[in-house]
Amino acid sequence: MNSLGTRIRELRLKKGLTQIELAKGIITPSMVSQIESDRARPSYKVLVAIANRLDAPLEQLIKGVTLELEASSKYKLAMGMVRAREYGAAILLFENLLETAVHRIPKENLLLELALCHLGAGDVLEAEQLLNQLYQITSYGQDQHLLAVVLLNQGKVAELKHNLPIALFYMDRAWEELQKAQEIDDDLQVKILMQQASLQEQSGKVEDAAKNYERALLLSQCNSEDRGSIYLRLAEVYNRHKNYEKAEEYASKALVLLEEQANEDRKQDLQHRLIMLHRGSVDWKLIIQELLTIAETYTRRGQKQKSGEVYADVGLICLENGELDQASSYAEKAKATLSETDPTMGKVNRVLAFVNFYRNNEKKGKEYLENALKLYEQHGKVAELEEITILSCRYLTDKGEHQEAYERLERFHKYLIGQLERRGIVL
C-alpha cells in the first residue's frame, strides 16, 4: 500500500512535471518536496489543486493510499512544536513515532527531524550520534537529496565543535551529493552555499566566501529578508577584504531590502550590523544613539543576549573614541546579560582590558586581556584574535615591554600554525 507522498510523486513523474512546475500557484516547491517524502500533509484544498494539476481525479490520487491519520497528526504536532522551538516536547513525539512500527512515516525522516531537534536544543553529541546513524543508512541508498541534508547538518555539528576543516569537508560532500540527485533542490543548494561561505569566512578564505555568497544570490528565490541577509554578509566580507566599493554596494542593497522586511527581530539585527559597518564614516555619538535605541528594543522584548551584543559594540565604540567611563559602563552592562562563554564576551573583555590599561591598572587589564584571548581562540575568531594581539603588542611596545610583546606575537603565530595543521597544511 503506497503512501500519499509516493503516489503524488509517481503521478508527477509520469506526467513529466518538476516539483517547481507542480507547485506553481499552489504551494512552494519545498512544500511539494515535503509532501512527497511524507514529511507534510496537504490540506484538502491543496490536495484538490494538486490532483487537477496532475490531471488525476481525487479518487485516483487517494485510492489504495494509507493516510494513517493518527501518526500523521502526531507528526504534524511534532513539526509544529519544532517551528515554535519547543524542542523538548517535539523530541518526545519523534521518539514515540520511532518506537511505533505500524505507520508509514519513513524512519529516515523521523531520525532527521529528531537530530535537528537535538541540534536546536543544543544537544550536539545526541545530534551527532543520530546524524552518523542516518549517514550509515543514506550513504548506501539512492536518495542523494536526503544524504546532502545529512551531510549539511553534520557540517553544522562540526562547526559547533569548532572543527572548521571537517565542517568544510562535509559541505563539499553535501554539494557533490546534491548534484547527483535526479531533481536538484535550489533551496538546499543555497543553504549549502551559505554554510560554505560562512565557514570560509571564519577560515580567512574571504574571496571564496564572497564567491559562494554571490552564487547563493543567483540561485536564491528567497524573500527580501533572506536576500537582505545575504547582501549584508557580502558587505561584511568585502569590508574585511578592504574592498570598500563592493562593501558599500552590498550594504546599500541590504538597507533597501531592510525597509521591506516584516520581521522586526531580523530588522533590528541587520540594522545593528549595518551601523557597525558604517561606524568609521558617521559621527560616533550618533552611532551610539542608534545602537542604544536598538538595545532598548531588545530589552523590552526580553532578548537579553541581543541587547548584550549591542552594549558590547557601544562599549567598543566608546573605547575607540577615548570615553573610558562610558566604555567600562556599557561593557559591564553587556557582561551582565551574556554568559561567560558567549563569543561576544571576547569583545567585552577586550574593552575592559584596554580601559584598565589606560587607567594604569596593569594587573586587571592583563586578566581581561587573557580572558579575551582565550575566548577568541576557543571560538576560532582568527580575525578578532589578530586584531587584539596587534593592539596589545603596540601598547606593550609603547610601555617598553618588548619581551612580552614578542611573546604575545609568538603565541598568535603558534595558534595560526595549529589552525593550519588542523587543515592539513604544514609549513
C-beta separation of 333 from 313 below 8 A:
no
C-alpha cell at 323: 570615553
Q: Work out the number of other CB atoms within 10 angstroms of the CB of residue 125.
A: 10
What distance in Å separates the CA atoms of residue 21 and residue 24, rounded to the nearest whole number? 5
For 173-228, how does the pLDDT look when each residue is reduced to its tens digit (9 = 90+)? 999 999 988 788 888 898 899 999 999 988 888 888 888 988 888 887 655 556 77
- Residue 409 · residue 389 · CB < 8 Å: yes
What residue type is assigned to position 96 of the chain? Answer: N
Q: Is residue 248 included in any domain, yes or no?
A: no
Residue 77 lies in a domain: no
pLDDT number for residue 352: 93
Residues 356 and 324 in one domain: yes
- Whether 284 and 368 share a structural domain: yes
CA distances from 412 to 31, 379, 393, 400 (A): 48, 14, 11, 20
Query: Does residue 321 fall inside a structural domain?
Result: yes
Which residues of the chain carry a pLDDT beneath 50? 262, 426-427
- Enter the DSSP assignment of 100: -
SS3 of 65, please?
strand
Q: What is the DSSP letter of 2?
A: B
Q: Please report where in the chains the cell 507522498 appears, as a residue.
A: 5
Verify that 340 and 393 share a domain, yes or no.
no
In a 3-state reduction of DSSP, which class is residue 393? Answer: helix
Q: How far apart are the first and last CA of the chain?
A: 61
Residue 422 pLDDT: 62
Residue 408 domain flag = yes
Rounded CA gap, 393 and 406, in Å? 8
With respect to residue 8, please indicate whether it lies within any of the assigned structural domains.
no
Residues 284 and 353 occupy one common structural domain: yes
Tell me what pLDDT residue 345 has. 93
Cβ pair 307, 299 in contact under 8 A: yes
**Do the Cβ atoms of 196 and 412 come closer than 8 Å?**
no
Task: Give the residue from 141, 192, 138 showing the smallest Cα distance to 169.
Answer: 192
Please name the residue that has the C-alpha cell 513529466: 16
C-alpha cell at 203: 577560515
Residue ending a domain, among 374, 389, 414, is 374
Alpha carbon distance 39, 31 (integer Å): 9
Same domain, 349 and 396: no
401/353 same-domain check? no
Q: Is 322 in the same domain as 352?
A: yes
- 93 burial (CB, 10 Å; 0-12 / 13-18 / 19+) is buried
User: Over the stretch 216-255, which tens digit does the pLDDT of each residue have?
Assistant: 888 876 555 567 778 888 888 888 778 888 888 888 888 7
The whole-angstrom separation of Cα 342 and Cα 22 is 45
Query: Which pLDDT score is estimated for 262?
Result: 44
Cβ pair 379, 416 in contact under 8 A: no
356 and 396 inside one domain: no
- What pTM, to 2 d.p., does this model score? 0.52
Identify the CATH number of the domain in which residue 292 sits: 1.25.40.10
417 within a domain of the structure (yes/no): yes
* Crossing angle for the helix pair 87-99 and 69-83, to the nearest 10 degrees: 150
Asked whether residue 114 is assigned to any structural domain, the reply reads: no
Q: What is the largest CA-CA distance in the chain?
A: 86
In a domain, 56, yes or no: no
Q: Which range of residues forms the domain containing residue 389?
A: 380-427
Total tally of structural domains belonging to the chain? 2
